[in-house]
Amino acid sequence: MTSCIYPQWDAPPHVGALATTRLGGVSTGPFDDGAGGGGLNLGKHVNDSPQHVAQNRELLAQLAGPSLVRPVWLSQVHGAAVADAATAAPNCEADAAVATEPGVGCAILTADCLPVLFCDTVGKVVGAAHAGWRGLASGVLENTVVRMHELAVGMGAGELLAWFGPAIGPQSFEVGEDVLQAFVARHAAAEAAFQPIAGKPGKYLADIYALARLRLRDVGVERISGGDCCTVRERRFYSYRRDGSSGRMASLIWIKS
């Protein structure tokens, strides 16, 4: 198995995009690859060795290649704010980033939450969003789409595409009534993404991929790819819900310089 997943979608060739797994790095202990080898943990905030994280980020730069000049790392807070990657301060508080400048990468860290990568069909604007259930319910995907449309004005950009990276799957994401209500309050159709769990009143299995599709289609994004992984069930991924102490994977997108 490889250390990266490359989206299968209709992005133009000058748009670079990838999502990492836990494989192929140098981290040890709970941040390893799950099979006794080094793990590709990219999160600085999980109590991994800073030296290992720095080495892993160097490995990521090698995987991305020289066209990725500067990945922009956010301080993610499960909200709905969107940063402009070219001007964002280091570790600014936001859960999404957008870019039109070549070489500037939009980077999202996850370990069960849904990473969503965006680009337009011409390759003028790209974006990445971190969609845990709170951010998803708060509109982080919609905000990212709006900001991309704003940046694309006058640039001749095309239709927006979206790709869902690895996230917790619909057979593993147990939630309570509060989560269901947070989505149904906005869309009655969201109830179809929640399956009651037998013997557990008020508990459901939630399909975060289906919820994200509903939100994106509401703002006109119909061309959606990915969404077929489960970070909990597949050991090649980090999973906070499965393991408690866990590393973080990265999903990145950039316009090649």
pTM: 0.97
pLDDT at 189: 95
pLDDT at 2: 73
pLDDT at 1: 59
Distance (Å, whole) CA 70 – CA 88 = 12
pLDDT band at residue 137, thresholds of 50, 70 and 90?
very high
pLDDT tens string 70-99: 999 999 999 999 999 999 998 899 999 999
pLDDT band at residue 194, thresholds of 50, 70 and 90?
very high
Is-contact 84 99, C-beta < 8 A?
yes
Could you give the number of structural domains in the chain? 1
Residue 154 pLDDT exceeds 90:
no
Residue 219 pLDDT exceeds 90:
yes
DSSP-derived secondary structure for the chain: --SEE---S---TTEEEEEE-SEEEEE-GGGS-SSSS-E----TTSS--HHHHHHHHHHHHHHH-TT--EEE--B--SS--EEETTTPPTT-B-SEEEE-STTEEEEEEESSSEEEEEEETTSS-EEEEEE-HHHHHHTHHHHHHHHHHHHHTTTT---EEEEE-S---TTT-EEEHHHHHHHHTT-GGGGGGEEEPTT-TTEEEE-HHHHHHHHHHHTT--EEEE----TTT-TTS--HHHHSS---EEEEEEE--
Q: What percentage of the chain has pLDDT greater than the value 90? A: 95
pLDDT tens string 41-62: 999 999 999 999 999 999 999 9
Residue 34 pLDDT exceeds 90:
yes
CA distances from 180 to 106, 190, 219, 237 (A): 30, 8, 21, 26
What are the phi and psi torsion angles at 206 (to 5°)? -105, 140
Range of the structural domain that residue 230 is part of: 4-244+251-255
pLDDT band at residue 164, thresholds of 50, 70 and 90?
very high
Q: What percentage of the chain has pLDDT greater than the value 70? A: 100
pLDDT tens string 120-133: 999 999 999 999 99
pLDDT at 51: 98
CATH number at residue 96: 3.60.140.10
pLDDT band at residue 257, thresholds of 50, 70 and 90?
confident
Look up residue 45 and give its two tokens: 């905030």
What rounded mean pLDDT belongs to the chain? 96
Distance (Å, whole) CA 99 – CA 83 = 9
pLDDT band at residue 144, thresholds of 50, 70 and 90?
very high
Segment 119-146 mean pLDDT:
98
**At CA 223, angle to CA 218 and CA 227, rounded to 5?**
90
Is-contact 230 31, C-beta < 8 A?
no
